[in-house]
Structure 1
């Protein structure tokens, strides 16, 4: 695959996550939504946030709001799947790399979401 695009649903997801009102992502999920967020803080310290809508609500409750900025560096859309590789910054400085994969339903709602992030690996541009 050589074409790169900004997947529209994941772009909106991360725009919402970076805002003062990240709870807007709750309107983007399907009734059968399932997620896993693998969150590494580095040096082997990590947590996994899993579940359905309630799991996402719990994840949102513990997040810092309007602190990190997600930058999508590479993206692809394949049928009902969107994938991205990106990085987060804090005050303009690199904090972590992330991958995100989403499967959408026929209404373009997120059915499945898998996100992994780590400060240990930076993809240089």
Structure 2
């Protein structure tokens, strides 16, 4: 990432900062790599503190905070899917969910077994 920034390459990065400090580095993904799991705890830490800076986007020379809509898109939800107005509740909802592509793949792979089981009953 640092090399791309120095060379002026216009690449977007997803940056997870949780756990990053002195001896630990940031976790970075390019736009071509899969995103991490959206964690329910990103929006809050259980003590009332805002933890939304644990996940950032670097694009066009700026560090941006992802919106709940951005996180929903990472999970494959369509734009018409309504999210709660509260950012903390929306992020918790997304963090407790399963990405659409993962759910589809799991159910598709289980369907033949379920049909066979039904036919055995």
Is the pair's TM-score, using the shorter chain for normalization, greater than 0.5? no
Rg larger in structure: 2
Report the TM-score, using the length of structure 2 for normalisation: 0.27
Q: Normalized against structure 1, the TM-score is what?
A: 0.26
Specify which structure has the higher proportion of helix: 2
Larger relative strand fraction:
1
